[in-house]
Copies of this chain bind each other. A is one copy, B any other.
Amino acid sequence: MRAFVTGGAGFIGSSLTDRLLADGHSVVVFDNLSTGRQSFLQDAASRSAFTFVHGDTMDAGALTVAMAGVDVVFHLAANADVRFGTHHPRKDLEQNTIATFNVLEAMRANNVRRVVFASTGSIYGEASIVPTPEDAPFPVQTSLYGASKLAGEGLIHAYCEGFGFESWIFRFVSILGERYTHGHVFDFYKSLKADPTRLRVLGDGRQRKSYLYVQDCIDAIFLTMARARDKVNTFNLGTDEYCCVNDSIGWITEHLDIRPELEYTGGDRGWIGDNPFIFLDTARVRALGWTPRLTIREGVLRTLDYLRANPGLLEAGA
């Protein structure tokens, strides 16, 4: 098949692109390189089945032209920064909600009807049920990022009903692994590299979070697309465990063999809209036969090793 990957130069997108190419598919990557990196597509670029289009999802015309002849769209491009939404509310609206509309309209113009969407566990806000299942009670959004992804999901649903689209919507926990360029492991490692004697921690360190290794995430996407064939297929993706921020700090500092003094900013939330407990119920995707290979600890350590081996990423970092 011919796949179209928005955000295909990013962390998850480039990993997905490599896997698609390895499986014999052809891939068009559409990326504005705002956070994506062409270096992540070095291997891909050497293959004849690969095409790179430098474009922005806010440019509906460019999307429509680039999408000609594809069979399926993986829509991963997004402003993925859940923390700073209140600094620039328009960014989530444009890059997530309106961009998703543009992708769906470009699909309609090209008669492409299969779409995979990277949504988020943040869409549950502060869930009343933990671990949180896909059919949790109607949530209240706590971040502009979550709200923009909710809007994206709703648009996709309506296109499935109104225009005969098929969709696979994945509500991710935070993803870890090779090519990871932003998040707590990045921030902690960067800070500890500059000064291994102290570490500033947002909140009280007791926030409970879930993480998933990027290759496990991609396995789940491929397996689900093969086995779930409803009009709208929505799946949580995560491990069946969580850790607290302090656990992760322990793993990282032990691995680096350092003992920094920890300075907590205090409170049970790291920032406005931070969710003190993210843990998704993944029974639905497990019932299809998927199981993650790495634990959260293994994912954190693999990410750390990757960052140590690629010091250039820290300087340019998000």
Contacts and interface: CB of A to CB of B under 8 A. Distances in A.
Interface residues of A, number: 41
Copies of this chain, count:
2
B162 A144 contact: yes
Contacts of A232: 140
B138 A86 contact: no
Contact of A154 (B151, B163, B234, B273): B151
Contact of A138 (B85, B134, B155): B134
A202 to B, nearest CB: 16
A163 B139 CA distance: 19
A50 to B, nearest CB: 31
Nearest to A128: B135
Interface stretch (A25-33, A93-101, A186-194, A295-303): A93-101
A64 interface: no
Interface of A is mostly: helix
A111 interface: no
A205 interface: no
Contacts of A85: 158, 162
Interface string A133-150: 011111111111011101
A158 B96 CA distance: 15
Contacts of A86: 162-163
Contact of A135 (B90, B138, B154, B272): B138
Interface in A82-119: 85-86, 89-90, 93, 97-98, 101, 104-105
A153 B125 CA distance: 13
A157 interface: yes
B89 A125 contact: no
Given A89-B101, A138-B134, A147 B158 contact: yes
**8 A-B pairs with the lowest CB-CB distances in the bound complex, closest first:** A151-B151, A147-B154, A141-B157, A135-B137, A86-B162, A147-B158, A150-B154, A141-B154
Interface of A: 85-86, 89-90, 93, 97-98, 101, 104-105, 125, 128, 134-144, 146-148, 150-151, 153-155, 157-159, 161-163, 232, 234, 272-273
